[in-house]
Each structure stands twice: as structure tokens, then as C-alpha cells.
Homo-oligomer: A and B are copies of this chain.
Amino acid sequence: MTGREPRPNEIAADIDPAQMEPSAGLVYIGRVHSPWTDRAECPRNMVQARERQKTAEVLVDAAWRPALRGLSRFSHAILLVWLDRSERNLIIQNPAHADNPTGTFSLRSPVRPNPIGLEFVQLLEIDEENGIIKVDAVDCLDNTPLIDIKPYFASTDSIPEAKKSSQL
């Protein structure tokens, strides 16, 4: 954990998941190799990431490479990553872009009780034998652990009408 500076009006939970007995265990299945090696330069979301026009590569561990069969039929996928350099105990956060302190579950901040990131990516190339997937962009740091890959289905995952109201 590199630790980010606390900001005014942030509130920690009474418990810290990083210090608790886990309810369940994750295994890393690979790594994401991204152009971003420190937090300051890392895009905050996928809109910013795509603007940088830099591709990224996912390296899947040998044991799981056969599970890539069929993925190349899909144009897009969802990568699940474990944001291993994030704090886990904040319930109220005060991001620079927000007007007011707000709850962790209304943010996509990496700081959350289980710091899982979702990367909605376009699949550019898949080398099943060597476990290498080239994607259009990611917004996570280089060497972030990979925990799952799911095909993206427009029928269930695309909700163009989803809205955020401006009312507090």
C-alpha cells in the first residue's frame, strides 16, 4: 500500500478490512501491464484512459490460459482487477472532482472495502497460447493483479439510459 493523503471531511469505518479475518480468498490469475506506474499519472476513469490513446496488455497465468478459448468471439470484455495499493476503510470520501464528501458506494474510487476494479475494455488481440490480451485502454496501475475476465454482453451490461441526478 503506497497510502494516499487523507482529505478533509473523510470518514473511516469502525473496522478496517485490511486488518480483518477474510470472509473468502481470492487468487490472482494474472497481471495487467499498463502505461501508468504511479498514481499521479494514472487516469481516474476509462474516459480519461481512452483519451491518452495508449493500449495495455493483460498477461494470464499459464494454468488459466485454456480458459481464454472463445473469448476472441467478443468485441469487448470486463476485466476484474484487485487494486492492491488501495486503502479499504473509508466510508465517506472527498474526491477532488466532487462538490461534497460522499459515500464510497456512490464513487468509483479505488478506495473501498473490497478494492475490486472493473475495466470495460475493447479486445484488440488475444494470444491464447501465451496468455496475452491486448486491450484498448485501462485506468489501473501497471502490474495490478487480475482476478477475472468476463465477456461483455450488450443485452445485460449496456444501460445507455442510466442517469445521475444533480440533486443531492
Q: Which residues of A contact B (CB under 8 A)?
A: 11, 13-15, 17, 20-29, 45-47, 63-64, 66-71, 73-78, 80, 82, 84, 91-92, 102-108, 112-114, 116, 118, 120, 145, 147-168
Question: Within 8 Å CB of A107, what residues of B?
Answer: 70, 151
Report the separation of the CA atoms of residues A120 and B120 in the bound assembly, to the nearest whole angstrom: 13
Extra inter-chain contacts (4) besides given A29-B113, A69-B102, A70-B168, CB under 8 Å: A17-B27, A20-B25, A23-B28, A26-B114
CB-defined contacts of A63 to chain B, threshold 8 Å: 13-15, 91
C-alpha spacing A138/B159, complex, angstroms: 15
Do A167 and B73 have beta carbons less than 8 Å apart? yes
Of the A-B pairs whose beta carbons lie under 8 Å apart in the complex, a sample of 16, sorted by A's number, is A23-B27, A24-B28, A24-B82, A24-B145, A27-B113, A46-B156, A47-B155, A47-B156, A64-B104, A66-B91, A73-B167, A105-B151, A114-B147, A118-B150, A154-B163, A157-B158
- B73 near A91: Cβ-Cβ < 8 Å: no
Contacts of A147 in B (CB 8 A): 113-114, 116
Given A91-B66, A163-B75: A105 and B15 interface contact (C-beta under 8 Å): no
* Interchain nearest-CB distance for A61 vs B (Å): 9
